[in-house]
């Protein structure tokens, strides 16, 4: 009888049964003079002893500002040192950190603050095209006449305090330095007592997942969830206190704050922020100047770094490892990262915010083909299985189905939404991912797409990633994304958005000719669109829903899109 698609992660290393604050203090005591955090764009360089002092000061200031255990504290900022200080300080006092996407506009910001019930918000002044301060005055015009810490706003009823990460004072808000000065009102003993009273299973973080329809859902995570996941992601990379990690991914996302920050902190390693928002040249410069041993990123980031005109001007030979995750990782890109970027032990991770996030990861020493073409094997202390989307039964190995995860990493639930929590986590504790995957005989997982992204053309199931991987082999193609667009005859047709390599040109006919005879006829793209960029989230995930909407308009497929289906 064929093995079923189930695997569990045995481990000789036990789970960490401590709070984030407790474990951080132990690491700071063990490695006080190790560099903990380097923020290149802020010219900040802190040892673990210095970071611990900053965190303690911030934690005492929160207590002085009236932040009780369980209160929600929002942070709305790109990558900077203060983000990490707030992350660790809230953990020390048992407040729940609410990560607010730096790209949020007024409507989304208002929803996140109100749905979570944020009482205090730490905000940057501005980022890219967003003026955060101006947006907050639009949402809460009462700020103009409010004393800092005493806001009463009609549209933001729970919010009473705003801390602004800028030196200039503004009506109704504290500056960062003003806020930190409150620390003198609270003793070290009071902070220690607060921290000692916490339990590692308590909620510590709310992260809003970007749903394709409706409002985002607030995945609620505990100390235990994210501390252990950060530890094991870094441990599989063989991290030590000598490692130095460049973190260009957003801190507001699990990739930055868990894999990045907590992965480093649990090993006494160094966190390096090259820039506020992703910039390929700044990342390459940080690797060289800081002699980084590891680098993180989503595939689009690595593609941008490899394609940068000055790529070969930088010495990247210090790199050893890292993680590529957050989206499907093209084999060709992974191979170049391992060779041209010298990150020979680069790994691929897979997961979702609701599982803290990583469920599977590749390992060092596995065959190259497995390292570059799969998302690895199950994580320590976790279980995974692949089930039929139709009947929920575990499928035999080799068959496709929905990937599910169970174990310490599964979120506590969606904040104040029991119904959506029940839909996501079944009665046996399995978190359903919505991702289509297959498990081979050795337990390696291959992600073939999203259940919702699967294209059904005339009754044939088509997985976009298969076509993307094939088109990546075309010598002129730099990046490609495949979607389904509506068709009156077949229901859906295949469309490929293609970004060409610099200086290259191609025609639709050339791409289609490349496909014919090499992939099944029904997988050959009916439509080709050459583009310079793809619509994407701030984390680098491609927004295929938006791509589909754009394509329907450009191709005049509104009539086909309006055909109702069962």
Domain co-membership, 191 together with 132: yes
Mean pLDDT over 121-149 rounds to 95
Domain co-membership, 146 together with 294: no
Q: Are residues 344 and 320 in contact, defined by beta-carbon separation less than 8 angstroms? A: yes
Domain co-membership, 178 together with 270: no
pTM for the model: 0.87
Domain co-membership, 260 together with 354: yes
CATH number of 154's domain: 3.40.50.980
CATH number of 481's domain: 3.30.300.30
89-103, 133-147, 178-192, 326-340: least confident range: 326-340
Domain co-membership, 445 together with 467: no
Residue partners of 143: CB distance under 8 A and separation at least 6: 136, 137, 151, 153, 162, 171, 172, 173
Q: Quick check: is 310 in a domain?
A: yes
Domain co-membership, 471 together with 553: yes
Q: Quick check: is 505 in a domain?
A: yes
Q: Quick check: is 138 in a domain?
A: yes
Domain co-membership, 440 together with 484: no
pLDDT digits (tens, 9 = 90+) for 429-481: 999 999 999 999 999 999 887 787 878 787 777 888 889 988 999 999 999 99
Domain co-membership, 346 together with 256: yes
**Which residue range(s) make up the domain with 516?**
463-561
Check residue 212 and give its pLDDT: 42
Q: Are residues 326 and 303 in contact, defined by beta-carbon separation less than 8 angstroms? A: no
Three-state SS string across 114-169, please?
A: HHHCEEEEEEECEECCEEHHHHHHHHCHHHHHCCCCCCCCCCCCCCCEEEEECCCC
pLDDT digits (tens, 9 = 90+) for 396-419: 999 999 999 999 999 999 999 999
Give 303 or 323, the one with higher predicted confidence: 323
What is the share, in percent, of the chain residues with pLDDT greater than 70? 98
Under the banding of pLDDT at 50, 70 and 90, the label for residue 535 is: very high
Under the banding of pLDDT at 50, 70 and 90, the label for residue 520 is: confident
Q: Quick check: is 188 in a domain?
A: yes
User: Residue 297 pLDDT > 90, yes or no?
Assistant: yes
Under the banding of pLDDT at 50, 70 and 90, the label for residue 566 is: very low
Check residue 214 and give its pLDDT: 60
| 289 CB neighbour count, 10 Å cutoff | 14
Domain co-membership, 258 together with 351: yes
Q: Which of 171, 198, 225 is the last residue of a domain?
A: 198
* CA distance linking residue 80 with residue 216, whole number of Å: 24
User: Residue 540 pLDDT > 80, yes or no?
Assistant: no
Q: Quick check: is 212 in a domain?
A: no
Under the banding of pLDDT at 50, 70 and 90, the label for residue 565 is: very low
Check residue 365 and give its pLDDT: 86
Distances (CA, A) of 415 to 63, 91, 355, 442: 23, 18, 15, 37
Domain co-membership, 89 together with 168: yes
In the block, tokens 């390096």 appear at 272
Check residue 213 and give its pLDDT: 45
Q: Quick check: is 550 in a domain?
A: yes
143-157, 326-340, 354-368, 501-515: least confident range: 326-340
Distances (CA, A) of 411 to 107, 179, 325, 421, 432: 26, 32, 19, 9, 12
CATH number of 269's domain: 3.40.50.12780
Check residue 107 and give its pLDDT: 86
Check residue 563 and give its pLDDT: 54
Q: Quick check: is 313 in a domain?
A: yes
Looking at the DSSP assignment, which residues form a beta bridge with residue 382? 407
Domain co-membership, 226 together with 138: no
CA angle 412, 351, 93 (to 5 degrees): 40
Coil, strand or helix: which one is 516?
strand
Q: Quick check: is 497 in a domain?
A: yes
Q: How many domains does the chain have?
A: 3
Q: Which residues of 371-380 are buried (b: 16+ CB within 10 A; e: fewer)?
A: bbbbbbbbbb
Residue 549: Cβ-neighbour burial (10 angstroms; 0-12, 13-18, 19+): middle
What is the share, in percent, of the chain residues with pLDDT greater than 90? 81
Check residue 329 and give its pLDDT: 75
Check residue 498 and give its pLDDT: 97
Mean residue pLDDT of the chain comes to 94
Nearest to 379 by CA among 406, 412, 398: 406
Give 368 or 11, the one with higher predicted confidence: 11
pLDDT digits (tens, 9 = 90+) for 70-84: 999 999 999 999 999
Q: Which of 163, 198, 233 is the last residue of a domain?
A: 198
Under the banding of pLDDT at 50, 70 and 90, the label for residue 210 is: low
User: Residue 313 pLDDT > 70, yes or no?
Assistant: yes
User: Residue 283 pLDDT > 80, yes or no?
Assistant: yes
Domain co-membership, 171 together with 77: yes
Structure token pair of residue 187: 């003793």
User: Residue 373 pLDDT > 50, yes or no?
Assistant: yes
Q: Which of 450, 478, 512 is the last residue of a domain?
A: 450
């Amino acid at each position: 009888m064929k093995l079923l698609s189930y695997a569990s992660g045995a481990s000789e290393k036990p789970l960490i049964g401590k709070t984030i604050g407790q474990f951080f203090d132990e690491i700071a005591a063990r490695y006080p003079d190790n560099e903990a955090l380097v923020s290149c764009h802020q010219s900040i360089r802190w040892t673990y002893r210095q970071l611990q002092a900053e965190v303690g000061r911030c934690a005492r200031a929160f207590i002085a500002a009236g932040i009780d255990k369980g209160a929600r504290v929002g942070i709305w900022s790109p990558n900077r040192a203060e983000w990490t200080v707030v992350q660790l300080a809230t953990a020390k006092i048992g407040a729940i950190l609410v990560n607010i996407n730096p790209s949020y506009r007024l409507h989304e910001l208002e929803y996140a603050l109100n749905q979570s019930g944020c009482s205090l918000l730490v905000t940057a002044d501005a980022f890219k095209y967003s003026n955060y301060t101006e947006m907050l005055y639009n949402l809460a015009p009462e700020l103009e006449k409010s004393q800092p810490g005493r806001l009463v706003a009609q549209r933001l009823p729970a919010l009473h305090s705003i801390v602004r990460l800028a030196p200039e004072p503004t009506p109704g808000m504290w500056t960062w330095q003003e806020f930190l000065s409150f620390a003198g009102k609270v003793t070290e003993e009071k902070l220690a007592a607060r921290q000692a009273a916490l339990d590692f299973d308590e909620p510590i973080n709310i992260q809003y997942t970007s749903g394709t329809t409706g409002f985002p859902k607030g995945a609620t995570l505990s100390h235990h969830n994210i501390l252990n996941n950060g530890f094991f992601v870094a441990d599989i990379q063989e991290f030590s206190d000598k490692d130095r990690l460049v973190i260009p991914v957003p801190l507001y996302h699990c990739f930055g704050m868990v894999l990045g920050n907590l992965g480093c902190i649990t090993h006494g390693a160094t966190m390096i922020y090259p820039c506020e928002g992703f910039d390929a040249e700044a990342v390459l410069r940080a690797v060289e100047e800081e002699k980084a041993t590891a680098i993180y990123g989503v595939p689009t980031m690595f593609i941008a770094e490899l394609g940068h005109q000055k790529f070969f001007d930088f010495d990247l030979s210090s790199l050893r490892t890292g993680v590529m995750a957050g989206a499907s990782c093209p084999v060709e890109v992974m191979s170049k990262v391992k060779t041209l970027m010298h990150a020979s032990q680069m790994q691929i991770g897979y997961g979702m915010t609701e599982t803290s996030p990583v469920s599977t990861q590749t390992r060092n020493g596995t065959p190259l083909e497995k390292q570059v073409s799969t998302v690895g094997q199950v994580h320590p202390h976790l279980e995974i299985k692949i089930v039929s989307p139709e009947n929920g039964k575990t499928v035999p190995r080799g068959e496709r189905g929905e990937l599910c995860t169970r174990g310490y990493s599964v979120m506590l639930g969606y904040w104040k939404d029991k119904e959506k929590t029940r839909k996501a986590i079944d009665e046996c504790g399995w978190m359903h991912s919505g991702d289509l995957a297959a498990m081979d005989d050795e337990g390696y997982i291959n992600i073939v797409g999203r259940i919702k992204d699967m294209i059904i053309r005339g009754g044939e199931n088509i997985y976009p990633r298969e076509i993307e991987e094939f088109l990546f082999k075309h010598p002129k193609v730099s990046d490609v994304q495949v979607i389904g667009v509506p068709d009156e005859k077949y229901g859906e047709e295949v469309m490929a958005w293609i970004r060409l390599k610099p200086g290259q040109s191609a025609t639709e006919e050339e791409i289609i000719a490349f496909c014919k005879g090499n992939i099944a006829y029904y997988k050959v793209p009916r439509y080709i669109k050459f583009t310079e960029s793809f619509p994407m989230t701030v984390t680098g995930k491609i927004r295929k829903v938006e791509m589909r909407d754009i394509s329907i308009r450009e191709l005049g497929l509104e009539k086909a899109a309006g055909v109702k289906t069962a």
